[in-house]
Amino acid sequence: MQCNVPAVAAPPVGSYPVNEIFESLQGEASFAGTPSVFVRLQGCPVGCPWCDTKHTWHMGPEREISVSAMGKKTELPCDSYSWCDVSTLANIVRAADAEHVVITGGEPCMYDLRPLIAKLEAWHHRVQVETSGTYVPLVTPTTFVTVSPKYEMPGGRPVLEEALARANEITCPIGKRREIGVVLEQLDPLHQSNGTPIWLQPLSASSRATAICIQAARRYGWRVSLQMNRFINIR
Ligand code: SF4
């Protein structure tokens, strides 16, 4: 298979490439309905074909903009990003209303997130990180880690046991019945041994996928997560 997944540039030390920062409600899983500040980092080499944030995949000087320009983006989605140091980034987050911070991407676990999260937690934010499970999450002990495992994607990165073991919850988009078998085989042992909740997410909220998820959740003790943002028409 031809792979056009991007190589990712090494970051300046102590900085993060930020695509956007915005406030909304967390729409999925354990924190559904929670007012949140979303910090979307740039860069992802995983290459999921259905990815809805492909604009975050690529990096390079031609896409770099100032922090102020990043904060004023009006055309979204947009593939530009700004390198932000910890203080700058934490101060932008602090200016928002929400206590809950979601660091997402892209693949945020490409970066050592500990300095940023430590600063935010010192300011009494609760931090959630959303990751594909293909990197070891470098986060603080109190970070809430959501792993949505991406198996056998074009980027060729394996899902890491260490990432799954760190998960506070696991989310799995489901479109077809046979995908339940993967969840059962690869992820249910973790649910059985650690009690890590497994959330099934019906793809496109279709009635067929939703029925498959509900049936599996009842049978195996998992949960169903509908993307509430779709229903109330917010991002
Ligand atoms: S891991 Fe996430 S950001 Fe990366 S390609 Fe897959 S869905 Fe997109």
With a cut of 90, say whether residue 4 has pLDDT above it.
Answer: no
Model pLDDT, residue 3: 43
Residues of the chain with CATH 3.20.20.70: 1-167
The string of pLDDT tens digits covering residues 53-92 is 999 999 999 999 999 999 998 888 899 999 999 999 999 9
Which tokens in the block code for residue 95? 């200016």
Model pLDDT, residue 204: 84
> 148 among the known binding-site residues?
yes
> What is the residue type of 167?
A
With a cut of 70, say whether residue 141 has pLDDT above it.
Answer: yes
Could you tell me which residues come within 8 angstroms of residue 119 by beta carbon, excluding any fewer than 6 positions away? Answer: 86, 87, 90
- For 1-167, CATH number out of 3.40.1350.10, 3.10.129.10, 3.30.390.50, 3.20.20.70 equals 3.20.20.70
Model pLDDT, residue 74: 81
109 lines ligand 1 (CB under 6 A): no
41 lines ligand 1 (CB under 6 A): no
**CA-based angle 112:117:77, to the nearest 5?**
75
Q: 174 vs 1, 159, 197, 198, 201, CA distance in Å? A: 24, 17, 16, 12, 6
Ligand 1 atom nearest to 54, measured from its CA: 8
The string of pLDDT tens digits covering residues 101-132 is 999 999 999 999 999 999 999 999 999 999 99
With a cut of 60, say whether residue 144 has pLDDT above it.
Answer: yes
Nearest CA to ligand 1 atom 6: 48
Ligand 1 atom nearest to 52, measured from its CA: 8
With a cut of 80, say whether residue 1 has pLDDT above it.
Answer: no
> How large a percentage of the chain has pLDDT more than 70?
94
Question: Is 201 or 5 the better-scoring residue by pLDDT?
Answer: 201
> 126 among the known binding-site residues?
no
- d(CA 151, ligand 1 centre) in Å: 11
- Mean pLDDT value of segment 202-227: 94
Among 5, 48, 50, 58, which residue has the most ligand 1 atoms within 8 Å of its CB, making it the best to mutate? Answer: 48
- Mean pLDDT value of segment 197-216: 95
Model pLDDT, residue 2: 38
Nearest CA to ligand 1 atom 7: 51
The string of pLDDT tens digits covering residues 16-59 is 999 999 999 999 999 999 999 999 999 999 999 989 999 999 99
Q: Of 144, 130, 141, 164, which is closest to residue 99 (Cα–Cα)?
A: 144
Beta pairing partners, 15: 85
Q: Which stretches within the chain are classed as H helix? A: 67-71, 86-95, 114-122, 161-166, 178-182, 188-194, 207-220, 228-232
